[in-house]
Amino acid sequence: MKRIFIFLLFISFAGFSQDFSLYQKKYYINSKGDTLPYRILYPEHYNKNQKYPLVLFLHGGGERGNDNEKQLTHGAKLFLDSAMRKEFPAIIIAPQCPSDTYWASVKFERTKYPLDLDFNYQYPITKGLSLAIELTKQIIKNERINQKKVYITGLSMGGMGSFEAIYRNPNLFAAAAIVCGGADVKAYSKKQMKTAFWLFHGDADGVVPVKHSREMFERLKELKADATYTEYPGVNHNSWDNAYTPPGFMEWMFSKQK
């Protein structure tokens, strides 16, 4: 019995690893010589004569400067699901945030939990977010992308970066799925309302307080945005284990167009 369990466990992990290997690892280098590693996932049956939606995935701060495999295989596992890939063929890009920067210009004290976050978009854009946006625009230019169907999603620090990316590029993304993040509520205005939003958070989050998603959702409603909010009772900062799972989420995201 023990041998059977070990064999099944091996098969499980082998399949898990094989799915993740579908992401090709590449490097984006801009004119200044700044380098941004990233992973890219192509549709299962890639047709060069067809234009595809593009999804930008921003990982959380815990994998800054390391490797975003953990959050890709958990947070973005839905995009690796075989049935989903067939039903919603898209190109997924997942940049790796360098250790010396962040996706968002938010100021916070990392030794405090929950984090004391100061969102102020008067801060200059970070190198990490700047490179991620450059990469997105380069992929749109180089690949067969349906420019009306460009989406963004992010976890924690990546969620904060997603909000800021939309703020700084109000015409780029058709929809955003933001998990346990936050934004400069006062800075957001009607020009960002070209993007549809689905926010996720756990009310037991001890890292990024749930109030940030609640306040942002209220602001989006004030601006009459196309916005949905799903809050998970008793769920902590690993909210991405539940994110993207509500029925109809994928249909919602991929139906949005600019």
Q: For the segment 126-160, what is each residue's pLDDT rounded down to a tens digit?
A: 999 999 999 999 999 999 999 999 999 999 999 99
- Indicate the length of the chain as a whole number: 258
**pLDDT tens digits along 77-131:** 888 888 888 999 999 999 999 999 999 999 987 777 888 899 999 999 999 999 9
95 prior amide bond cis, ω within 30: no
Cα 36 from Cα 23, distance rounded (Å): 15
Q: Is the pLDDT of residue 190 over 80?
A: yes
89 prior amide bond cis, ω within 30: no
Within 10 Å of residue 11's Cβ, how many Cβ atoms? 10
- Residue 69 has a pLDDT of 87
Q: How confident is residue 19, by pLDDT bands cut at 50, 70 and 90?
A: low
Of 181, 219, 223, which Cα lies nearest the Cα of 202? 181
Q: Does domain 24-255 have CATH number 3.40.50.1820?
A: yes
- Residue 156 has a pLDDT of 95
**pLDDT tens digits along 41-86:** 999 888 888 999 999 999 999 899 988 888 888 888 888 888 888 9
Which token pair is 246? 């509500």
Show Cβ contacts of residue 46 under 8 Å, excluding neighbours closer than 6 positions: none
Q: Where along the chain do its domains lie?
A: 24-255
